[in-house]
Amino acid sequence: MLGSILVFILVLSILVLVHELGHFIVARRMGVKVEEFGFGIPPRLIGKKIGETIYSVNALPFGGFVRLHGESDAEGITDSKRAFLNKSKKARALVVIAGVVMNFLLAIVAFAVVYSFSGIPRDTGKLKVIDVAPGSPAQVTGMVVGDIITNVGGSPIVSSDDFISKTAALKGKKTVFEIQRNSAGQESQLKITLTPRESPPEGEGPIGVTITTMEIYYPPVWQRPFYGIYYGFKDALFWGQTIVLGLGDIIGGLFNGQVPRDVSGPVGIFAVTTEAAKNGAITLINFIGILSVNLAILNILPFPALDGGRLLFIGIEAVTRKKVSPKLEGTIHNIGMIILLLLILVITIGDIRRLITFGGIQGFINSMVK
């Protein structure tokens, strides 16, 4: 359990620190004075001032924060030229959005690492047998793993869907299957006659094979980072779209009085992180990528206290040509933070109940995917 907790803290800290690092780097570039860059949540344990910035380690080891001069309190400004509130709308918007951008970049890097080590999936266009059920028509007539099915009943096979529809249409009829087989480096063409079953066991299909057109490609080592970044970028976009659509379903469900069961808070993330870590470093890194996209999407939502909420106020200023009172904006963000904390509390209570009800982490995860 201690190991799981440490992994969870490490994952959470990486996600939040990378996010805050984005704010830190762009704030410095925009000439904003950064008062503190902290690891963990205060109270402060140790801190060292380097230049004008305090670099601190804090008591609660969850993530981190960046404290900008004049971020929300106009009265506390001592260096007006370098105060965040006094910077241009463009500069403030860039500082605000930098955390989200960094989380997307982290996701791309995480996915790139996964692809670099695990290979690149690609469609070969060839229907390859990857499993044969014992006692099935395919097994009885001699079909083996590695065979490539090229023709069914005199018709060429062009895709997995094509194969499924043709075997379904030929149930109960003797059918000739043409296959390619590579044995000891020798390729041969074979014809196998079998009868697709009309009522196959669940999960087996009419002839009892599992097929795929995909294979794992391992590029030369020097090319892997480039392939990884390309496919990592595609994965980041895919997960971003998936999360946005999921949020839409959640919000729609809430308006209809339905609380989605697959919404989880810190306890749920801890459970999934623990399970991912059990499956190895690559699975954990992939999960970090997914979480990082999640954090980016959630942070850009136009809700007070989130980066998207701060961006919204900058947008209002751009439209009305009048800056919202820093005091009023600060109050709205504080209210938003209270609402978010209450929401996290409610979700966490639900997570704990599910954890108890379903008998631990594995049962909890199964309850989320059903």
Q: Which amino acids are annotated catalytic?
A: 20
- Residue 47: what are its φ and ψ, rounded to 5°? -160, 145
DSSP states of 138-178 as a string?
A: HHHTT--TT-EEEEETTEE--SHHHHHHHHHHTTTS-EEEE
Q: What tokens were used for 58?
A: 């804090």
Identify which of 127, 132, 147, 128 has the alpha carbon closest to the alpha carbon of residue 191. 147
Q: Find the Cα–Cα–Cα–Cα dihedral 18, 23, 24, 29, rounded to 10°.
A: 130
Paired with 245 in beta bridges are: none
Q: Residue 349: left if φ>0, alpha if ψ -120 to 50, beta else—which one?
A: alpha
Helix (H, G, I), strand (E, B) or coil at 123: strand
Number of Cβ atoms within 10 Å of the Cβ of 53: 17
